[in-house]
Amino acid sequence: MLEYQNSSITFKENKYVAKLPWKPDHPELPTNEYIARRRTQNVIDRLAKDPDMLNLYDKIIKEQEMKDFIEKVPITEIDREHGRIHYIPHHPVKKDSNTTPIRIVYDCSCHGNPDLPSLNDCLSSAPPILNKLTSILTRFRLGKYGITTDIEKAFLQVRLDNDDRDATRFFWLSDSTDPTSELIMYRFKVVLFWSNVFAVYFKTQHY
């Protein structure tokens, strides 16, 4: 764990940058392009039955792009042959909330077939070493004043190393007003909440 922290986490331009914690002997990661494309189309077909939900789903993705959490894969890099390239399916999960009735879940545990590994299968995991909640609450009560704050999208503030971004590609509509429009490729520029790298990174940090 300490080795990963020292070799794979850096601080650049006021941002932490993390590499994916690849297992040294992990099996070859498949692209999963076919299943990711198929599952994305299934999601679009379901959402198209409720245009408001489709628009909201698209709005979330556009907001992620605007905030620089994701980016469109440059045309010059779509068909590149070197490095790891992997596509992640995603789907909506409904929430009991008036402001955010759905959230998007990215399936980093997706298997193209039972014999092929998922992205998470190829990444190391780690036991929790975060400070205990009881200790945090006890220290909070020691002082005369207590201050709390909420960092917006805190889990999306850790940048993903450039060399690993193509392992986090996904598909979405080029035009959300037309469910039959072409699918385009995006990729993450930040650590995914649903991947093992998120768990490993935050388990190496002490608060």
Q: How far apart are CA 175 and CA 183, in angstroms?
A: 9
DSSP 75: G
pLDDT in tens, 6-15: 667 888 888 8
Hey, what are 14's tokens? 């006021």
φ, ψ for residue 77 (rounded to 5)? -110, -5
User: Of the CATH numbers 3.40.50.300, 3.30.360.10, 1.10.10.10, 3.10.10.10, which one belongs to the domain with range 1-188?
Assistant: 3.10.10.10
Residue 5: pLDDT over 70: no
Mean pLDDT of 141-155: 76
| pLDDT for the residue 11 | 81
CA gap 136, 140 in Å, rounded = 6
What radius of gyration do the chain's Cα atoms show?
19
Give pLDDT, residue 196: 55
Question: What is the DSSP secondary-structure string of 122-146?
Answer: GB------SPPHHHHHHHHTTSS--
Domain chopping of the chain, boundaries: 1-188
Q: What is the greatest pairwise CA distance in the chain?
A: 60
Nearest Cα residue to 41 out of 182, 195, 169: 182
pTM over 0.95: no
Contact 173, 55 (CB under 8 A): no
Q: What is the pLDDT of residues 163-176, one digit of tens each?
A: 999 999 999 999 99
